[in-house]
Chains A and B, each alone.
Chain A
Amino acid sequence: MKAEAIEYGDRRVYSVGAFNRGVASWLARLPTVWVEGEVTELRRQERWASVFFTLKDPADGACLGVSMPRGRFDALRLELADGDRVHVYGRPELYEARGEFRLRALSLERFGLGDHLAALERLKQKLAAEGLFAAERKRPLPFLPRRIGLVTGNDAAAKRDVLTSIQTRFPPAHVLVAETYVQGPRAAGAVIETLRALCGEPEIDVIVVARGGGSFEDLLPFSDERLVRAVADCAVPIVTAVGHEQDTPLCDLAADARASTPSVAARLVVPDLAELLQRLDRHRQGLERGTRRALERERQRLDRTHERLGRAPRLLVERGRSRLEQAAGRLKALSPRGTLERGYAIVRAGDEIVRSSRAVEPGQGVDVELAEGGFGARVEDVK
């Protein structure tokens, strides 16, 4: 609908009613949506056609007026009280008579803690089924990160705790602190944005996402599906230190490691400098000890070789003597003397050794040599 204006020269002027009608028709083109908030200032009267209440954002206190046809409201039998968390399905509209903007509710659902938990559980199941929390997705954290990214709120305590823990454990640490919103409806988007910014920085080897403890609602952004996915997809390994031990926001499950306290986070991302130095010195001692031992071993071996070298000439003589004795024995065995010892005799006729009876004649003189001495003899008979 086009609002009619009155022309005063070159100025177009709308009446209040025309202006409100114009805005109302523009608002009416907006879609019907779900809005979540806490019910306050509920006003219901039998003579009114509508029920009115204010929907309040618990995170930042933003308010929105809501109207709902009384019949429809009563039929729900919700018995709402101030502070109840609800989901309202409706459309923005302008109450033309007063120029007041509000949400025209078509439907209303109570959305309590239980509903939150159920919704979270469904999301958890869905992401788990996608394998987002799988152990094989977890990356090892660097042993000695060049730079550490720290995503934190401007909440001094959480930031200080993590920084102090890191610096105490490893004084040479480089930390790039990125402050952002860690609470309220903007938190999830802001943390995602910050993660992206940190990943674009050089030499960031690990990122810690730290946020102090808070209520269930305070920590809800850390279960936001977009943030959980961003944590899982982050190019740099992430350690989450969100809330307290008992809180398990879904981003914890998607992170590469989860720390229950700031000091645990520090233990995960940096080594203990004192321990590292001690270990290095121990290795150096090992180096010296090992080298000295190798030298000592080599010296002993040389000593032994030297000793053997000294023994060598005597050994040679001894070996020579025994070989000589052996030869002498063999020589003895081969000489005729040995044979004579065994009872043989050598018979000579002149200079010739008699080997056959044909070499002598009866009456011929022969010499007989025995092992001991000898004698002359005469041949009696030849056979």
Chain B
Amino acid sequence: MTFEEAQKELEEIVRRLETGEAPLDEALKLWERGEELYRFCRERLEAAEGRIEELASRVQDTKATNPEKP
């Protein structure tokens, strides 16, 4: 599941709960699922640590083996 899918499902659950169309049993199930999705999203955002990498070698290598034509 992607973050976006999880967020979308969470939004839909909140909407259903707020319109009050769900009976209690279902409401409780929705709430559980919503909490799960919330935790999933939070973890996604908090687990990731920013990273900057350099892709230098490969392009440089290709250049080296491909000398410019005169």
Contact = CB atoms under 8 A, between A and B. Distances in A.
A144 B2 contact: yes
Interface string A151-192: 000000000000100010011111111111000001000100
Contacts of A337: none
A286 B51 contact: no
A177 B52 contact: yes
B27 A174 contact: no
Nearest to A149: B55
A208 interface: no
Contacts of B18: 286, 289-290, 293
A193 B59 contact: yes
A284 B38 contact: yes
A294 B14 contact: no
Contact of B27 (A186, A277, A294): A294
A280 B34 CA distance: 11
B-side interface mostly:
helix
Contacts of B55: 149, 176-178, 194, 197-198, 201
Contacts of B4: 143-144
A175 B53 contact: yes
A241 B4 CA distance: 25
Given A291-B17, A294-B24, A190 B41 contact: no
Contact of B59 (A172, A180, A276): A180
Contact of A291 (B27, B41, B46, B62): B27
A-side interface mostly:
helix
A280 B59 CA distance: 40
Interface in B41-62: 41-42, 44-46, 48-56, 58-59, 62
A287 interface: yes
Contacts of B52: 163, 167, 175, 177
Instruction: Kindly name the residue among B3, B11, B44, B52 whose own CB sees the greatest number of chain A CB atoms within 10 A.
Output: B52
A197 B58 CA distance: 7
Contacts of B38: 280, 283-284, 287
Instruction: Kindly name the residue among A176, A177, A294 whose own CB sees the greatest number of chain B CB atoms within 10 A.
Output: A294
Contact of A174 (B42, B45, B50, B58): B50
Contacts, number: 118
A315 B38 CA distance: 50
A194 B59 contact: yes
Nearest to A189: B66
Contacts of A283: 7, 10-11, 14, 34, 38
A287 B45 contact: no
Given A173-B50, A290-B31, A291-B28, A280 B42 contact: yes
A226 to B, nearest CB: 15
Contacts of B58: 197
Contact of A287 (B3, B7, B17, B42): B17
A297 interface: yes
B59 A178 contact: yes
Contacts of B59: 178-180, 190, 193-194, 197
A143 B48 contact: no
B14 A290 contact: yes
Given A143-B4, A173-B50, A174-B51, A186 B45 contact: no
B53 A176 contact: yes
B27 A290 contact: yes
Interface of A: 143-144, 149, 163, 167, 170-180, 186, 190, 193-194, 197-198, 201, 273, 276-277, 279-280, 283-284, 286-291, 293-295, 297-298
List 9 tightest A-B contacts by C-beta distance, closest first: A290-B17, A172-B48, A294-B27, A286-B14, A291-B31, A178-B55, A287-B34, A143-B4, A298-B24
15 contacts: A178-B54, A179-B56, A186-B68, A197-B58, A197-B62, A280-B41, A283-B11, A284-B34, A287-B31, A287-B34, A287-B35, A287-B38, A293-B18, A294-B22, A297-B24
